[in-house]
Structure 1
Amino acid sequence: MPLPFPGSSVELQPEPSLTRSLAHSVVDSAIVRRRLRFLSVQARSKGVKLGMQSIPIATACTIYHKFFCEIDLDAYDPYLVAMSSLYLAGKVEEQHLRTRDIINVSNRYFHPGSEPLELDSRFWALRDSIVQCELLMLRVLRFQVSFQHPHKYLLHYLISLKNWLNRYSWQRTPVSVTAWALLRDSYHGGLCLRFRAQHIAVAVIHLALQAYGVEVPAEAEAEKPWWQIYTMDTEIP
């Protein structure tokens, strides 16, 4: 009996990777990035529905992206990897999730309005797949599944910037809300693996300020850009 998720399989054996020509490598990489972005959005949506906090969701997305940096996207079922990422992130960040909740939320995501799965052989096969996939991911990632996220830096920088800016300008524009939204959206791609947490925090604030045309006081007369007060090695064109 087929499992209720697109492309899901109880088997965790990798498929033989296909040899791609150099002419198709750019197109293939673009397709892979789009697929990863779409699947990471799904993983994050499931985390929200499971009541996960921001840090565990960020950890789940980072685990997901890091795993597929090591493994071909076509080698393993990405939907199963997404569920296992949520399960593993809950353990890492001490917000434990039941596999049954993850399975039911995922099932409802793909089949809106459906009833929770019965505790039959299909359910237990999927549960075992999640656990086995978790062990596989730990081995592939060499048990390095603890990450430094930008959230604490962003909170500190926003509080500092709020005291720096004009109070009415800060209240009139949702710079803080926009910065947090940009940070959440950044986990749809692999930015969390390519840049330091401090740099991502500064970048989302810079983009939020630009979006609303808010200028930092005395920036034109300052010897260095405002963001280098927080991170000395950050360069923004």
Structure 2
Amino acid sequence: MPKSDSDVEVIAGSSSSPGSASERRGSEATAPVSAEEAPKPRVIYEYIVRCCVRLEALNRTCCAAIRLMHRLYERKIVKYICNYSLATACIMVAAKSEEDSGIRIRDVVNVSHRILHPEKPPIEVDDSFWTLRRSLGRLEFVVLRELSFDTYMTHPHQLLTLYLDLLASWMPEEFEKFDIREQAFAILRDCHIVPEFVLEHSHESLALVALSLVLKGHDLYVPNCRDFYTVFSKHMSERKLRHLEEEVLQDVYGQRLK
């Protein structure tokens, strides 16, 4: 961990962003941020989603960034470095680990600046921009070092893709009419806002609950197979699936299953 985070937290630290150590003590940032001052983890995860949506990042890049940030919350670094800046660095680390070539550091700096400082004009390519860019690059290394350079993780995305392809062959008209694929992946991404939920359940369960919620949202049923999930998983039951749906609606979206 660096002795001072004043050089690596510039993305958020130069503003009134909540949880900024530089806001509290100027360049003196060696003291930990109190729990009252630091943003809640969910706020940071939602910030990552907003950035990734604007960047048009791969879905799994967004999910990976959240999980990397979740790992950082288990370490002391989150008490000393602006959490927004750490989250931004996690996006860059995730983009590289997931081989998301469409994510460029310049775009990440611009997008994060616009989200954190909506009242300010777009950042210009001047000395301040290059300072932010260099700071983000250094912070990437700090994140990697904190994680012992271990960024490997598996995702449920491939399994969800398989399920969607099979369903599309069974109900092509419905897939043509509704954005089932896009919405299923959006739900899977949003589930990562509660990373504990994602880590507690199998890829199979995560893919099925995302798919089931989309189908129910459009009042759709798989032809000749109302309990479609039994085809994909011998471990899934109606009771378990409904419980998973309730968890997602309540914990992720703040709603109740009707």
Give the TM bin, normalised by the shorter chain: 0.7 to 0.9
Note closer, same or farther for the CA distance 1:41–1:145 as it changes in structure 2 (3 Å cut). Answer: same
Deviation at 1:174, TM superposition (A): 4.6
Whether contact under 8 Å (2:97, 2:152) holds in the other structure is yes
Whether contact under 8 Å (2:89, 2:136) holds in the other structure is yes
Deviation at 1:93, TM superposition (A): 2.0
Whether contact under 8 Å (2:59, 2:185) holds in the other structure is no
- Point out the more displaced range, 94-103 or 84-93: 94-103
Amino acid corresponding to residue 156 of structure 1 in structure 2: L
Q: SS at the partner of 1:236?
A: helix
Deviation at 1:219, TM superposition (A): 4.0
Does residue 63 (structure 1) correspond to residue 74 (structure 2)? The answer is no
What does residue 14 of structure 2 align with?
3
CA distance in 1, matches of 2:44, 2:215: 29
What does residue 228 of structure 2 align with?
226
Whether contact under 8 Å (1:50, 1:105) holds in the other structure is yes
CA distance in 1, matches of 2:28, 2:191: 32
Deviation at 1:70, TM superposition (A): 4.1
Q: Which TM-score applies when normalising by structure 1? A: 0.73
Does residue 202 (structure 1) correspond to residue 208 (structure 2)? The answer is yes
Among candidates 114, 123, 127, match of residue 108 of structure 1? 114
Written as runs of structure 1 = structure 2, the 5 A alignment for 1:13-92 is 13=30, 15=32, 35-71=40-76, 74-92=79-97
The CA deviation string for residues 19-58 of structure 1, in whole angstroms up to 9 with x for no partner, is xxxxxxxxx9xxx9x8322222222222233342223222
Note closer, same or farther for the CA distance 1:5–1:17 as it changes in structure 2 (3 Å cut). Answer: closer
The CA deviation string for residues 99-155 of structure 1, in whole angstroms up to 9 with x for no partner, is 3432222222223351324543x5555445433432332233332212222222112
Deviation at 1:203, TM superposition (A): 1.0
Whether contact under 8 Å (1:5, 1:107) holds in the other structure is no
CA distance in 1, matches of 2:156, 2:51: 21
Note closer, same or farther for the CA distance 1:161–1:81 as it changes in structure 2 (3 Å cut). Answer: same
Whether contact under 8 Å (1:60, 1:85) holds in the other structure is yes
Amino acid corresponding to residue 197 of structure 1 in structure 2: H
Does residue 213 (structure 1) correspond to residue 219 (structure 2)? The answer is yes
CA distance in 1, matches of 2:188, 2:46: 13
CA distance in 2, matches of 1:47, 1:212: 26
Structure 2 alignment gaps of length 5 or more: 1-9, 243-258
Q: SS at the partner of 1:105?
A: helix
Structure 1 alignment gaps of length 5 or more: 19-27
Does residue 139 (structure 1) correspond to residue 139 (structure 2)? The answer is no
Q: Which TM-score applies when normalising by structure 2? A: 0.68
- Point out the more displaced range, 44-53 or 68-77: 68-77
The CA deviation string for residues 1-22 of structure 1, in whole angstroms up to 9 with x for no partner, is 962461264777461777xxxx
How much is the aligned-residue C-alpha RMSD, in angstroms?
3.5
Q: SS at the partner of 2:152?
A: coil
Amino acid corresponding to residue 116 of structure 1 in structure 2: I
CA distance in 2, matches of 1:193, 1:176: 23
Amino acid corresponding to residue 3 of structure 1 in structure 2: S
